[in-house]
Structure 1
Amino acid sequence: MMKIAFICIHNSCRSQMAEAWGNKLLSDISEIYSAGTEDYPEVKPLAVAVMSEVGMDTSDQYPKLLKDMPQKLDILITMGCGVECPYVPANYREDWGLDDPSGGPIEDFRITRDSIEEKVMQLRERILNGDFKNKHAN
Protein backbone atom coordinates (compact mmCIF):
# COMPACT_ATOMS: atom_id res chain seq x y z
CA MET A 1 0.00 0.00 0.00
CA MET A 2 1.12 3.52 -0.73
CA LYS A 3 1.85 5.89 2.15
CA ILE A 4 0.32 9.34 1.66
CA ALA A 5 0.75 12.30 4.00
CA PHE A 6 -0.99 15.67 4.07
CA ILE A 7 1.12 18.41 5.66
CA CYS A 8 0.52 21.98 6.80
CA ILE A 9 1.82 24.24 9.55
CA HIS A 10 -0.42 23.34 12.51
CA ASN A 11 -2.23 20.18 11.37
CA SER A 12 -5.37 21.77 12.75
CA CYS A 13 -7.59 22.33 9.71
CA ARG A 14 -6.74 21.65 6.03
CA SER A 15 -4.47 18.66 6.55
CA GLN A 16 -6.94 17.20 9.06
CA MET A 17 -9.75 17.48 6.52
CA ALA A 18 -7.50 15.91 3.90
CA GLU A 19 -6.66 13.04 6.25
CA ALA A 20 -10.37 12.42 6.83
CA TRP A 21 -11.16 12.49 3.10
CA GLY A 22 -8.13 10.30 2.43
CA ASN A 23 -9.29 7.74 4.97
CA LYS A 24 -12.73 7.71 3.37
CA LEU A 25 -11.68 7.70 -0.29
CA LEU A 26 -8.20 6.15 -0.38
CA SER A 27 -7.98 3.67 2.50
CA ASP A 28 -8.41 0.69 0.16
CA ILE A 29 -5.22 1.65 -1.72
CA SER A 30 -3.12 3.61 0.75
CA GLU A 31 -2.23 4.43 4.33
CA ILE A 32 -3.11 8.03 5.19
CA TYR A 33 -1.28 10.41 7.53
CA SER A 34 -1.36 14.09 8.34
CA ALA A 35 1.03 16.27 10.32
CA GLY A 36 2.16 19.80 10.97
CA THR A 37 5.45 21.54 11.46
CA GLU A 38 4.44 23.37 14.66
CA ASP A 39 2.59 22.35 17.81
CA TYR A 40 -1.03 23.40 18.05
CA PRO A 41 -3.47 22.61 20.87
CA GLU A 42 -6.48 21.30 18.91
CA VAL A 43 -8.14 20.73 15.59
CA LYS A 44 -10.12 23.84 14.68
CA PRO A 45 -13.72 23.40 15.91
CA LEU A 46 -15.14 24.72 12.61
CA ALA A 47 -13.09 22.12 10.70
CA VAL A 48 -14.64 19.40 12.88
CA ALA A 49 -18.10 20.95 12.39
CA VAL A 50 -17.96 21.07 8.58
CA MET A 51 -16.66 17.52 8.36
CA SER A 52 -19.56 16.44 10.58
CA GLU A 53 -21.94 18.07 8.06
CA VAL A 54 -20.82 15.48 5.49
CA GLY A 55 -21.04 12.56 7.89
CA MET A 56 -17.43 12.36 9.06
CA ASP A 57 -16.70 12.43 12.77
CA THR A 58 -13.24 13.96 13.23
CA SER A 59 -13.82 14.97 16.86
CA ASP A 60 -11.22 12.47 18.08
CA GLN A 61 -8.51 13.85 15.79
CA TYR A 62 -5.63 15.85 17.23
CA PRO A 63 -2.73 17.80 15.73
CA LYS A 64 0.31 15.63 14.99
CA LEU A 65 3.88 16.58 14.15
CA LEU A 66 6.13 15.43 11.32
CA LYS A 67 7.93 13.07 13.72
CA ASP A 68 4.63 11.21 14.22
CA MET A 69 4.39 9.95 10.63
CA PRO A 70 6.47 7.47 8.63
CA GLN A 71 9.73 8.84 7.29
CA LYS A 72 9.28 7.00 3.98
CA LEU A 73 6.38 8.35 1.98
CA ASP A 74 5.14 7.64 -1.49
CA ILE A 75 3.15 10.86 -1.84
CA LEU A 76 3.46 14.07 0.16
CA ILE A 77 0.80 16.73 -0.27
CA THR A 78 1.30 20.17 1.25
CA MET A 79 -1.80 22.24 1.73
CA GLY A 80 -0.54 25.65 0.63
CA CYS A 81 1.86 26.76 3.28
CA GLY A 82 4.18 28.49 0.81
CA VAL A 83 7.78 29.05 1.82
CA GLU A 84 7.13 27.57 5.26
CA CYS A 85 6.48 24.09 3.88
CA PRO A 86 9.05 21.63 5.17
CA TYR A 87 11.17 19.33 3.10
CA VAL A 88 10.08 15.76 3.76
CA PRO A 89 11.49 12.97 1.59
CA ALA A 90 8.84 11.44 -0.63
CA ASN A 91 8.72 9.71 -3.99
CA TYR A 92 6.36 12.44 -5.18
CA ARG A 93 5.24 15.76 -3.72
CA GLU A 94 2.89 18.52 -4.70
CA ASP A 95 1.34 21.59 -3.13
CA TRP A 96 -2.42 22.06 -3.32
CA GLY A 97 -2.25 25.81 -2.67
CA LEU A 98 -5.33 25.96 -0.47
CA ASP A 99 -6.06 29.12 1.50
CA ASP A 100 -6.29 28.54 5.24
CA PRO A 101 -9.90 29.26 6.33
CA SER A 102 -8.87 29.68 9.98
CA GLY A 103 -10.32 32.85 11.45
CA GLY A 104 -12.92 33.11 8.72
CA PRO A 105 -16.61 32.23 8.63
CA ILE A 106 -17.87 28.66 8.48
CA GLU A 107 -18.56 29.07 4.75
CA ASP A 108 -14.80 29.40 4.15
CA PHE A 109 -14.32 26.07 5.92
CA ARG A 110 -17.02 24.48 3.74
CA ILE A 111 -15.33 25.74 0.57
CA THR A 112 -12.00 24.32 1.75
CA ARG A 113 -13.62 21.01 2.73
CA ASP A 114 -15.24 20.64 -0.69
CA SER A 115 -12.03 21.60 -2.52
CA ILE A 116 -10.11 18.99 -0.56
CA GLU A 117 -12.71 16.32 -1.31
CA GLU A 118 -12.41 17.05 -5.03
CA LYS A 119 -8.60 16.99 -4.91
CA VAL A 120 -8.56 13.69 -3.00
CA MET A 121 -10.93 12.16 -5.58
CA GLN A 122 -8.62 13.38 -8.36
CA LEU A 123 -5.63 11.96 -6.48
CA ARG A 124 -7.40 8.59 -6.29
CA GLU A 125 -7.96 8.60 -10.05
CA ARG A 126 -4.33 9.48 -10.67
CA ILE A 127 -3.15 6.66 -8.40
CA LEU A 128 -5.47 4.14 -10.06
CA ASN A 129 -4.29 5.32 -13.49
CA GLY A 130 -0.70 4.54 -12.48
CA ASP A 131 0.50 8.14 -12.50
CA PHE A 132 2.83 7.53 -9.53
CA LYS A 133 4.42 4.19 -10.46
CA ASN A 134 7.60 5.64 -11.93
CA LYS A 135 8.16 8.60 -9.61
CA HIS A 136 11.55 8.77 -7.94
CA ALA A 137 12.42 10.18 -4.54
CA ASN A 138 13.19 13.89 -4.43
Structure 2
Amino acid sequence: MKRVLFLCVHNSARSQIAEAYLKLLGGDGFHVESAGFEPGPINPLVVEVMAEVGVDLTDKGSQKVFDLFREGRVFDYVITVCEESEGSKCPIFPGMTHRLHLAFEDPAAVTGTREERLAQVRAIRDAIRKVVEEFISWVGSSGRKPLGDFWEIKPTA
Protein backbone atom coordinates (compact mmCIF):
# COMPACT_ATOMS: atom_id res chain seq x y z
CA MET A 1 0.00 0.00 0.00
CA LYS A 2 1.37 3.42 -1.00
CA ARG A 3 1.15 6.17 1.63
CA VAL A 4 0.32 9.59 0.18
CA LEU A 5 0.11 13.02 1.80
CA PHE A 6 -1.44 15.99 -0.02
CA LEU A 7 -0.13 19.21 1.40
CA CYS A 8 -1.44 22.78 1.22
CA VAL A 9 -1.36 25.90 3.36
CA HIS A 10 -4.79 25.65 4.99
CA ASN A 11 -5.88 22.07 4.19
CA SER A 12 -9.27 23.58 3.43
CA ALA A 13 -9.72 23.03 -0.31
CA ARG A 14 -7.21 21.67 -2.86
CA SER A 15 -5.54 19.11 -0.61
CA GLN A 16 -8.96 17.96 0.64
CA ILE A 17 -10.23 17.51 -2.92
CA ALA A 18 -7.11 15.54 -3.89
CA GLU A 19 -7.35 13.35 -0.79
CA ALA A 20 -11.02 12.63 -1.45
CA TYR A 21 -10.42 11.71 -5.09
CA LEU A 22 -7.47 9.44 -4.34
CA LYS A 23 -9.55 7.65 -1.70
CA LEU A 24 -12.45 7.35 -4.15
CA LEU A 25 -10.46 6.29 -7.21
CA GLY A 26 -7.34 4.64 -5.79
CA GLY A 27 -8.97 1.77 -3.96
CA ASP A 28 -7.07 -0.28 -1.43
CA GLY A 29 -3.70 0.50 -3.02
CA PHE A 30 -3.37 3.81 -1.19
CA HIS A 31 -3.46 5.16 2.32
CA VAL A 32 -4.06 8.87 1.80
CA GLU A 33 -4.19 11.91 4.06
CA SER A 34 -4.04 15.65 3.65
CA ALA A 35 -2.68 18.36 5.91
CA GLY A 36 -1.86 22.05 6.04
CA PHE A 37 0.62 24.44 7.56
CA GLU A 38 -2.16 26.60 9.04
CA PRO A 39 -5.24 24.35 8.99
CA GLY A 40 -8.66 25.94 8.73
CA PRO A 41 -12.25 24.92 8.12
CA ILE A 42 -13.15 23.30 4.80
CA ASN A 43 -14.18 25.88 2.20
CA PRO A 44 -18.01 25.79 1.85
CA LEU A 45 -17.79 26.03 -1.96
CA VAL A 46 -15.54 22.96 -1.96
CA VAL A 47 -18.00 21.08 0.24
CA GLU A 48 -20.77 21.99 -2.20
CA VAL A 49 -18.97 21.02 -5.43
CA MET A 50 -17.66 17.77 -3.95
CA ALA A 51 -21.21 16.86 -2.88
CA GLU A 52 -22.17 17.23 -6.55
CA VAL A 53 -19.87 14.29 -7.35
CA GLY A 54 -21.00 12.20 -4.38
CA VAL A 55 -18.25 13.09 -1.90
CA ASP A 56 -19.40 14.35 1.50
CA LEU A 57 -16.87 16.64 3.19
CA THR A 58 -19.29 18.26 5.65
CA ASP A 59 -17.77 16.59 8.71
CA LYS A 60 -14.19 16.46 7.40
CA GLY A 61 -11.60 18.23 9.50
CA SER A 62 -8.18 19.52 8.63
CA GLN A 63 -4.87 18.56 10.20
CA LYS A 64 -1.57 20.28 10.82
CA VAL A 65 1.33 18.94 8.77
CA PHE A 66 3.85 19.42 11.55
CA ASP A 67 1.77 17.24 13.89
CA LEU A 68 2.15 14.40 11.37
CA PHE A 69 5.86 15.17 11.08
CA ARG A 70 6.36 15.14 14.88
CA GLU A 71 4.48 11.83 15.10
CA GLY A 72 7.11 10.36 12.80
CA ARG A 73 4.59 9.53 10.08
CA VAL A 74 6.13 8.14 6.91
CA PHE A 75 4.83 8.80 3.39
CA ASP A 76 5.92 7.35 0.06
CA TYR A 77 4.60 10.43 -1.76
CA VAL A 78 4.24 13.98 -0.49
CA ILE A 79 2.37 16.10 -3.02
CA THR A 80 2.11 19.85 -2.57
CA VAL A 81 -0.90 21.38 -4.32
CA CYS A 82 -0.32 25.12 -4.01
CA GLU A 83 2.48 27.61 -4.46
CA GLU A 84 2.34 28.75 -0.84
CA SER A 85 3.34 25.30 0.40
CA GLU A 86 6.62 25.29 -1.51
CA GLY A 87 9.98 26.27 -0.15
CA SER A 88 11.12 26.41 3.43
CA LYS A 89 7.74 25.57 4.94
CA CYS A 90 7.67 22.10 3.41
CA PRO A 91 9.17 19.49 5.74
CA ILE A 92 11.07 16.50 4.44
CA PHE A 93 9.39 13.38 5.77
CA PRO A 94 11.50 10.43 6.91
CA GLY A 95 11.36 7.57 4.45
CA MET A 96 9.67 9.61 1.74
CA THR A 97 10.61 8.36 -1.72
CA HIS A 98 8.81 10.91 -3.95
CA ARG A 99 8.06 14.61 -3.53
CA LEU A 100 5.80 16.03 -6.22
CA HIS A 101 4.25 19.44 -6.78
CA LEU A 102 1.07 20.58 -8.51
CA ALA A 103 -0.04 24.20 -8.59
CA PHE A 104 -3.79 24.81 -8.50
CA GLU A 105 -5.70 28.05 -8.12
CA ASP A 106 -6.93 28.60 -4.58
CA PRO A 107 -10.73 28.22 -4.28
CA ALA A 108 -10.65 30.85 -1.54
CA ALA A 109 -9.36 33.38 -4.09
CA VAL A 110 -12.07 32.95 -6.74
CA THR A 111 -14.23 35.99 -7.42
CA GLY A 112 -17.52 36.88 -9.04
CA THR A 113 -21.12 35.99 -8.38
CA ARG A 114 -21.92 32.85 -6.43
CA GLU A 115 -22.50 30.93 -9.67
CA GLU A 116 -19.24 32.22 -11.17
CA ARG A 117 -17.33 31.20 -8.04
CA LEU A 118 -18.97 27.76 -8.06
CA ALA A 119 -18.02 27.33 -11.73
CA GLN A 120 -14.39 28.21 -10.95
CA VAL A 121 -14.25 25.80 -8.00
CA ARG A 122 -15.80 23.07 -10.19
CA ALA A 123 -13.03 23.64 -12.73
CA ILE A 124 -10.40 23.32 -9.97
CA ARG A 125 -12.12 20.17 -8.69
CA ASP A 126 -12.17 18.63 -12.17
CA ALA A 127 -8.51 19.50 -12.80
CA ILE A 128 -7.52 17.87 -9.52
CA ARG A 129 -9.48 14.73 -10.40
CA LYS A 130 -7.65 14.53 -13.72
CA VAL A 131 -4.20 14.69 -12.11
CA VAL A 132 -5.19 12.22 -9.39
CA GLU A 133 -6.22 9.79 -12.12
CA GLU A 134 -2.86 10.35 -13.82
CA PHE A 135 -1.05 9.85 -10.50
CA ILE A 136 -2.82 6.51 -9.96
CA SER A 137 -1.79 5.40 -13.45
CA TRP A 138 1.80 6.58 -12.89
CA VAL A 139 2.10 4.71 -9.58
CA GLY A 140 0.60 1.62 -11.24
CA SER A 141 3.32 1.78 -13.89
CA SER A 142 6.00 1.97 -11.14
CA GLY A 143 6.89 5.45 -12.33
CA ARG A 144 7.79 4.27 -15.85
CA LYS A 145 4.95 6.15 -17.52
CA PRO A 146 5.68 9.89 -17.84
CA LEU A 147 3.70 12.36 -15.79
CA GLY A 148 1.97 15.28 -17.54
CA ASP A 149 3.52 18.71 -17.90
CA PHE A 150 1.66 20.08 -14.88
CA TRP A 151 3.59 17.80 -12.48
CA GLU A 152 6.90 18.83 -10.99
CA ILE A 153 9.09 16.19 -9.35
CA LYS A 154 11.04 17.69 -6.47
CA PRO A 155 14.25 16.35 -4.91
CA THR A 156 13.66 14.51 -1.63
CA ALA A 157 16.83 15.74 0.03
1:51-79: CA deviations, max 9, x gaps?
Answer: 00111111111111111476211001100
Instruction: Tell me the percent identity.
Output: 29
The answer on 1:16 being equivalent to 2:16 is yes
Find the residue that maps to 2:122 and give its secondary structure: helix
Of residues 66-75 and 106-115 in structure 1, the stretch that sits farther from structure 2 once superposed is 66-75
Q: Could you state the TM-score of these two structures normalised by the residue count of structure 2? A: 0.78
- Higher deviation after alignment, 116-125 or 86-95: 86-95
Counterpart amino acid of residue 11 in structure 2: N
**Secondary structure at 1:130 match in 2:** coil
TM-superposed deviation, 1:103: 3.6
Q: Which runs of 5+ in 2 are unaligned?
A: 111-116, 145-154
How many aligned positions are there? 134
1:37-61 Cα distance to aligned partner (Å, 9 max, x none): 1132x10010000000111111111
Unpaired segments ≥5 residues, structure 1:
none
- 1: CA distance between counterparts of 2:123 and 2:25? 18
2:92·2:156 contact (CA, 8 Å) conserved in 1? no
Residues 95, 137 of structure 1: alpha-carbon distance in 2 compared, 3 angstrom cutoff: closer
Q: Cα RMSD over matched residues?
A: 1.9
- Distance in 1, Cα, partners of 2:6 & 2:39: 16
Question: Hey, which of these two has a bigger chunk of helix by percent?
Answer: 2
Instruction: State TM-score, norm by structure 1.
Output: 0.88
